[in-house]
């Protein structure tokens, strides 16, 4: 494969028109603003219907085989609706303007409710996958679909709406230093014009999920690294996203705190949110035994359920 850009987007490989998602938390659908990440069993409306949130994925069925293994038609009670696909990356190649090819023919499907670790050496293309998903970059070839919408083909006016389906956290937290924990989280709702009366309860719920209720009035500089990342997670969750993306969220944290952050992401996943986490943290990946997608030099070299960080055996 040529290392030169293939040229289908020669001057527009970066989506410079769109608002930078890295500076602000992605913003929710107005209709979803009152929905709550913290809300689970007792809320008026769960983030996702329980049946959808717990529906076995096609991958899971493949891994375990069909129930009973019988040739006769499945009983009525076993009829299940396949999980919806949240992310579909189809034949994607990404060449940066300097000629660097970051992704080469990548195909990746993530069904609703999945928890996916994206692993691979530095420079393998993990963050590039994430940038394509949030439309921070555009693919050179192929398509990136979020809930069946090709993100590269969205009209400008549609970009904020699709980004509201995503919550994202980074290694370096990206908190606003002069705002309290509460105000950092609230800001994600304010920027999209969420009615004032809906903001405080939604923020409280998000802070409860991450366990920061007691620190709500502190500034980021008054928090530990783990608490700062929890704040960023609350901010990413407050608009009730469908897809939660974490790009090396434990990169600045010690092992114990990293583990707590992973437990939090697992809880968020249990609430029905699909999670994609790029990481180098082999211990965590191996311990958690979730789906692992490994990239090397821009190609997917492994995609396994309940896997270790590195191929075993
Ligand atoms: N804006 C850019 N312009 C040019 N090349 C880039 C750009 N961003 C990334 N790259 C290159 O694309 C390749 C993939 O980078 P990417 O950031 O996706 O890797 P990564 O797997 O996230 O690495 P890390 O684990 O170090 O974060 C690398 O060779 C990198 O140098
Ligand atoms: Mg990266």
- Written as one string, the DSSP assignment of the chain is --SS---SSTT-SB-TTSPPTTTS-----GGGTT--SS--TTSSS-SS-HHHHHPPPHHHHHHH-SGGG-SSPPPGGG--PPPPEEEEEEEEEEE-TTS-EEEEEEEEEEETT-EEEEE-STTSSHHHHHHHHTTSB--SEEEEEETTEEGGG--GGGHHHHHTTEEEEETT----TTS-HHHHHHHHHHTTT--HHHHHHHHHHHHHHHT-GGGTTS-GGGS-HHHHHHHHHHHHHTT--SEEEEESTTTTS-HHHHHHHHHHHHHHHHTT-EEEEE---HHHHHHHT-EEEEEETTEEEEEESS--SS---
Nearest of 101, 244, 60 to residue 166 by alpha carbon:
244
Side-chain-facing half-sphere of 291: CA atoms under 13 Å: 21
Q: Which residues surround ligand 2, an ion (CB under 5 A)?
A: 126-127
pLDDT mean over 34-53 = 33
Give yes or no for residue 157 CB within 6 A of ligand 1. no
Nearest of 179, 158, 151, 197 to residue 235 by alpha carbon:
179
CA dihedral 65, 68, 73, 79 (to 10 degrees): -70
C-alpha 83 to ligand 2 mean position (Å): 28
Distance spanning both ends of the chain, measured CA to CA: 31
Give yes or no for residue 124 CB within 6 A of ligand 1. yes
Confidence of residue 313 (pLDDT cuts 50, 70, 90): low
Convert the pLDDT of each residue in 195-240 to its tens digit.
Answer: 999 999 999 999 999 999 999 999 999 999 999 999 999 999 999 9
Q: What percent of the chain has pLDDT over 90?
A: 66
In eight-state DSSP terms, residue 99 is: S
Angle at 115 between CA 80 and CA 291, to 5 degrees: 95
Convert the pLDDT of each residue in 66-100 to its tens digit.
Answer: 333 344 455 556 667 778 999 999 999 999 999 99
Q: Which of 17-26, 87-96, 113-122 has the least mean pLDDT?
A: 17-26
C-alpha 273 to ligand 2 mean position (Å): 22
What is the C-alpha separation between 180 and 200, in angstroms, rounded? 13
115-119 and 274-278 strand pairing: parallel
User: Do the beta carbons of residue 285 and residue 117 sit within 8 Å?
Assistant: yes
pLDDT of residue 51: 28
Is pTM beyond 0.75? Reply is: yes
User: Do the beta carbons of residue 109 and residue 148 sit within 8 Å?
Assistant: no
Q: Where are the alpha helices (DSSP H) in 148-195?
A: 159-163, 181-190
C-alpha 134 to ligand 2 mean position (Å): 14
C-alpha 123 to ligand 1 mean position (Å): 5
- Per the listing, tokens 């994202």 go with 168
C-alpha 15 to ligand 1 mean position (Å): 16
Residue 2 has pLDDT above 70, yes or no: no
Considering just the CA atoms, what is the radius of gyration of the chain in Å? Answer: 20
Q: Which atom of ligand 1 is nearest to the CA of 298?
A: 14
User: Do the beta carbons of residue 169 and residue 232 sit within 8 Å?
Assistant: yes
Side-chain-facing half-sphere of 222: CA atoms under 13 Å: 11
Give yes or no for residue 100 CB within 6 A of ligand 1. yes
Residues with Cβ within 8 Å of residue 150, at least 6 apart in sequence: 143, 144
Nearest ligand to the CA of 121 is: 1
Nearest of 166, 140, 138, 160 to residue 16 by alpha carbon:
138
């Amino acid at each position: 494969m040529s290392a030169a850009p293939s040229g289908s987007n020669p001057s527009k490989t970066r989506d410079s028109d769109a608002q930078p998602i890295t500076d602000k938390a992605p913003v929710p659908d107005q209709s979803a603003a009152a929905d709550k990440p913290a809300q689970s069993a007792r809320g008026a409306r769960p983030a996702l219907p329980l049946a959808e949130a717990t529906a076995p994925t096609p991958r899971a069925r493949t891994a375990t085989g069909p129930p009973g293994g019988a040739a006769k038609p499945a009983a009525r009670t076993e009829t299940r609706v396949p999980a919806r696909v949240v992310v579909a990356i189809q034949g994607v190649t990404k060449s940066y303007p300097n000629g660097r090819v970051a992704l080469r023919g990548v195909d990746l499907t993530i069904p609703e409710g999945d928890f996916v670790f994206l692993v691979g050496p530095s420079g393998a293309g993990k963050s590039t996958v994430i940038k394509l998903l949030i439309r921070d970059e555009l693919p050179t070839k192929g398509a990136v679909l979020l809930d069946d919408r090709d993100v590269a083909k969205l009209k400008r006016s549609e970009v904020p709406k699709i980004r509201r389906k995503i919550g994202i956290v980074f290694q370096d937290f990206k908190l606003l230093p002069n705002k309290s924990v509460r105000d950092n989280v609230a800001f994600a709702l304010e920027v999209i014009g969420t009615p004032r009366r809906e903001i405080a309860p939604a923020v409280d719920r998000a802070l409860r999920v991450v366990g920061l209720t007691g620190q709500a009035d502190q500034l980021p500089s008054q928090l530990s690294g783990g608490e700062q990342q929890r704040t960023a997670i609350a901010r990413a969750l407050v608009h009730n996203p469908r897809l939660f993306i974490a790009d090396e969220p434990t990169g600045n944290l010690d092992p114990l705190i990293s583990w707590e952050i992973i437990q939090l992401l697992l809880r968020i996943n249990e609430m029905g949110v699909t999670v994609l986490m790029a990481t180098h943290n082999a211990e965590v990946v191996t311990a958690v035994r979730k789906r692992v997608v490994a990239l090397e030099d821009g190609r997917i070299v492994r995609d396994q359920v309940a896997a270790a960080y590195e191929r075993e055996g």
